[in-house]
Amino acid sequence: MQSVAKDIQYIRSQFPILHQQVNGKPLIYFDNAATTQKPQAVIDALLNYYTTHNANIHRAAHTLAARSTELFEATRKSVQRFINAREVEECIFTKGVTEAINLVAQTWGRKFLTAGDEVIITGMEHHSNIVPWQMICEEAGAVLKVVPINDAGELMMDEYEKLLSSKTKFVSCVWASNALGTINPVKEIIRKAHAAGAKVLLDGAQACSHIEVDVQDLDCDFLALSSHKLYGPTGVGVLYGKRELLEAMPPYQGGGEMIREVSFEGTTYNDIPYKFEAGTPNIGDVIAFKHALDFVNETGKSTIAAHEHELLKHCVDGLNRINSEANKQIITLVGTAAEKVSVQSFVINGMHHFDAGMMLDAKGIAVRTGHHCTQPLMKHFGLEGTIRVSFSVYNSKEEVDVFLDAVRSLLKFAQQ
């Protein structure tokens, strides 16, 4: 195990932000499901872009523009390889997963949803995969259906099958839950949706940093992913879509880049992916995103997943041990699915999660508290919110131990 520890040390050394004190204590960053930290290579790429390459892409006739364009499109190729898309044109840059989902809802949804059609989401969606569908369903007169979840935080697949019918036109589903960590059986979800004649979008925000992505093998129609949850800059996301679907969809926003020819009598639109990339894109951040993908590829998804699972198990075992030491249930784990990414939500009974979060912060430990943008899910569990820890490849077992000791020290404030 020595070599794994050494690897982790090397990985940690690439993340300058981790080496600081917060509130007088060494920072322990356990809010990776909200955003991951950035390796030096990504930070350097941003600096390098603005110090040597900055130019607007795709049209200008000068050298800087050519260089910027080349770097920008190189990221698109990296994305294509990262998700194993058939064609590079199937990868559209957005400002994040939220925009990617809104794009599909507002274009595919607006064109193909009609009154009486049904859209299926699940009970564990992030608000960004609920609200866009509510909006378009209301507009189109379509009906939004929700797959319920069980007490472990897993989808009730038999209920999903019951919801599927010839009315189902679209299924939009989270691959891995940000609040619970649950990994959903997306291949089965996609296969069954397709059998019913429906298209499927996967919200890959949480999954893509932990799980190998192969959109051809999954056969998903759309996939949304986020750069900033994948060690890359904020403000960049990707929408993958099958070519024939993207071509059939109307543009999302009008402006420069997305046009072929504009006249006051009418406008013809550019080919994909540019049809969906109106305006000057987030060039610098997209270029730096390639270095984040390089980091993931070099580190290896299997290494990342194995290490993160070990941290999750160490944490869950430790939290369970606190209960057995106390001979009662002081800590309730929320989200105990069999298949999980490295996310654990919990509550300390008799203690508000905000108080716990602030006291952990005072000890230098960054966690997320609240409803995690999943209010319907919290309602299902009868909770206002939870404390959530989420681990990344640069976290260590020693940090988990410090966290568990910190949780122990909070228990005296819990009102039993």
Partner 1 sequence: MHNNKPVKTVTDSITDIQNEIIDNFSLFEGDMESTLFYLMDLGKKIPAMPAAHKTDEFIVKGCQSKVWVYPTFTDGKVQFEADSNTEITKGLVYLLWSIWNNRTPEEILNRELFFIDKIGMSRMIGSQRSNGFASMIKQMKLYALAYKNSNN
Residue 198: CA count within 13 A, CB half-sphere? 28
Which of residues 341 and 407 has its CB atom nearest to partner 1 in the complex?
A: 407
Give the largest Cα separation in the chain, rounded.
77
Site track for partner 1 across 288-317, x = CB under 8 A: ------------------------------
CA 223/CA 134 separation, integer angstroms? 19
Min CB(363)–partner 1 separation in Å: 7
Sole residue written with tokens 């051809």: 216
Question: Which residue, 292 or 348, is less far from partner 1 as judged by CB?
Answer: 348
Q: Is 173 a catalytic residue?
A: no
CA atoms of 199 and 119, how far apart (whole Å)? 10
Which is the catalytic residue, given 91, 220, 315, 373? 373
Between CA 89 and CA 244 the distance in angstroms is 11
Cβ of residue 41: shortest distance to partner 1, in angstroms? 31
Cβ-based nearer residue to partner 1, 50 or 354: 354
**358 has which bridge partners?**
none
Query: Smallest distance, Å, CB 47 to partner 1?
Result: 28
Contact of 210 with 182, CB cutoff 8 Å: no
What is the nearest approach in angstroms of partner 1 to the Cβ of residue 391? 23
Q: Contacting partner 1 (CB under 8 A), which of 185, 256, 370, 376?
A: 370
User: Binders of partner 1: how many residues, by CB under 8 A?
Assistant: 13
Q: Which is nearer to partner 1, 25 or 301 (CB)?
A: 25
Binding of residue 23 to partner 1 (CB under 8 A)? yes
Q: For residue 69, what are the contacts with CB-CB under 8 A and spacing of at least 6?
A: 57, 58
Query: Does residue 26 belong to the site contacting partner 1 (CB under 8 A)?
Result: no
Q: Kindly state the smallest distance separating residue 322's Cβ from partner 1, in Å.
A: 20
Q: Write down the least CB distance from residue 107 to partner 1, Å.
A: 34
Q: Which residue's CB is nearer to partner 1, number 294 or number 355?
A: 355
Give whichever of 156 and 383 is closer to partner 1, judged by the CB atom: 383
3-state SS record for 47-116: HHHHHHHCCCCCCCCCHHHHHHHHHHHHHHHHHHHHHCCCCHHHEEEECCHHHHHHHHHHHHHHHHCCCC
**Which residues pair with residue 390 across a beta bridge?**
31, 343
What mask of x and - would describe binding to partner 1 in positions 334 to 363, judged by CB under 8 A?
-----------------xx-xx--xx-xxx
| 12 vs 17: CA distance, rounded Å | 10
User: Quick count: other Cβ atoms within 10 Å of Cβ 120?
Assistant: 25
Question: In sequence order, what E strands does 192-269 have?
Answer: 199-203, 222-226, 237-241, 259-263, 266-269
- Does position 185 bind partner 1 by CB under 8 A? no
Please pick, from the candidates 247, 254, 255, 413, the single residue that binds partner 1 as defined by CB under 8 A: 413
Residue 24 touches partner 1, criterion: CB under 8 A: yes
Q: Which amino acid is at 181?
A: G
Residues that bind partner 1 (CB under 8 A): 23-24, 351-352, 354-355, 358-359, 361-363, 370, 413
Which amino acids are annotated catalytic? 373
